Amino acid sequence: MKNSWPSLALAEWKDTYATLHMWTQIVGKVRLALGPPINHFWGVTFYLSSRGLTTSPIPCANKTFEVTFDFIAHVLDITTSLGETRSFRLMPRTVADFYAEFMDALDSLGIDVKIWPTPVEVPRPVRFTLDETHSAYDSEYAHRFWRVLVNIDTVLKEFRARFIGKCSPVHFFWGSFDLAVTRFSGRRAPERPTADPITKEAYSHEVISVGFWPGDEAVKDAAFYAYATPEPAGFKDRRVLPEKTFYSKEKGEFLLMYDDVRLSSDPRQTLLDFCQSTYEAGATLANWDRPNLERAIPAATKTA
């Protein structure tokens, strides 16, 4: 059977990626402004849909509304619980233009919202209203990125189902532009007095996370990551699967390049092995109550 995991070389779509990152932050900040503050910022994320990325319903006065990046038709759709709709094309346009059209569309629906119009988690941020630099949109690569996320979302949900303790949804963080799932031991983590409010909230409890992102200046291509916070002694030296996984001291996490998964004989199992073995390394070393947190794994899918 043909491998259905497409290539996603960062060099080939980095400009589209940078633009999409800004567009998703604009939409994400609207969800942040109007949604309830769910623990660990779970209330601000996006989710995979059958056509792209969606906010899920956002409350606003007497209705809810949902915003979807449709990477099949390449439109941004806004729908409300009152049957109203607005949409516009996803195409090459500046961040400033996208911001203006999106906010005008919300205003036309009676959705009054104010956001802090500056991106986060990026070097050298530029206010959305002034960003005339990011304007690329390659529809082929936007669609390809979504197809990659669909494959990964399916596997991460399978991995998530093995855990019966507190666990995040499989969700997309528009700040860091990654798809992730996080497991919790149930114990509070040591307080970080000098941490910013976002970090304090995200890591208030012991966690082990696994996820995917398209790469950055340090990691030059798409990769999977896994980390434990607080990191237990010996974690970085633990043997994990598959063999091409490595520990990045700069990132403080295990990394596995996307191409090493997609080109393997069984990408699904390769990714599951990475998720399971890195989790087991962290949970064992940190003395998590694994018998009461885990569901039995079928013998055929257990890691070595």
Residues 160 and 295 in one domain: yes
Residue 3 lies in a domain: no
- What is the largest distance, in Å, between two alpha-carbon atoms of the chain? 57
Mean pLDDT of 48-71: 97
First vs last C-alpha separation in the chain: 26
Confidence (pTM): 0.94
Edge-to-edge strands, sheet with 223-229: 171-173, 178-188, 205-213, 223-229, 253-257, 246-248
Residues 170 and 296 in one domain: yes
Residues 54 and 171 in one domain: no
Match 């700040």 to its residue by tokens. Answer: 175
Which of 99, 130, 161 delimits the end of a domain?
A: 130
Q: At what angle do helices 10-34 and 95-108 cross, to 10 degrees?
A: 30
Q: What is the pLDDT of residue 150?
A: 98
Domain that holds residue 258: 148-301
Q: What is the pLDDT of residue 1?
A: 43
Residues 191 and 287 in one domain: yes
Q: Assign 301 a pLDDT band (cuts: 50, 70, 90).
A: low
Q: What is the pLDDT of residue 303?
A: 53
Q: At what angle do helices 10-34 and 139-160 cross, to 10 degrees?
A: 70
Residues 122 and 25 in one domain: yes
- Give 74-113 pLDDT, tens digit per residue: 999 999 999 999 999 999 999 999 999 999 999 999 999 9
Give me the chain's average pLDDT, please: 95
- Give 118-174 pLDDT, tens digit per residue: 999 999 999 999 999 999 999 999 999 999 999 999 999 999 999 999 999 999 999
Residue 225 lies in a domain: yes
State the virtual CA torsion across 108, 112, 113, 114 in degrees, nearest 10. Answer: 100
Residue 300 pLDDT exceeds 70:
no
Residue 82 lies in a domain: yes
Residue 135 lies in a domain: no
Match 């990046």 to its residue by tokens. Answer: 69
Residues 156 and 118 in one domain: no
Residue 81 lies in a domain: yes
Residues 155 and 289 in one domain: yes
Residue 63 lies in a domain: yes
Q: How far is CA 194 from CA 90, 121, 190, 256, in A?
A: 40, 18, 12, 30
State which H helix or E strand residue 215 sits in: none
Residues 49 and 111 in one domain: yes
Of all residues in the chain, what percent carry a pLDDT higher than 70? 97
Q: What is the pLDDT of residue 304?
A: 45
Which of 96, 130, 164 delimits the end of a domain?
A: 130
**Main-chain phi, psi angles of 289, to 5 degrees:** -80, 70
- Give 267-279 pLDDT, tens digit per residue: 999 999 999 999 9
Residues 154 and 120 in one domain: no
DSSP state of 304: -
Residues 157 and 47 in one domain: no
Q: List, in sequence order, every beta strand (DSSP E) within 170-239.
A: 171-173, 178-188, 205-213, 223-229
Q: What is the pLDDT of residue 299?
A: 65
Which of 103, 130, 157 delimits the end of a domain?
A: 130
Mean pLDDT of 34-47: 95
Residue 1 lies in a domain: no
Q: Among residues 37, 76, 38, 33, which one has the least CA distance to residue 54?
A: 76
Residue 19 lies in a domain: yes
Q: How many domains does the chain have?
A: 2
Residues 115 and 192 in one domain: no
Q: Among residues 162, 120, 152, 155, which one has the least CA distance to residue 53?
A: 152
**Quick one: how far is CA 90 from the chain centroid?**
20
Residues 283 and 153 in one domain: yes
Residue 254 β-bridge partners: 226, 247
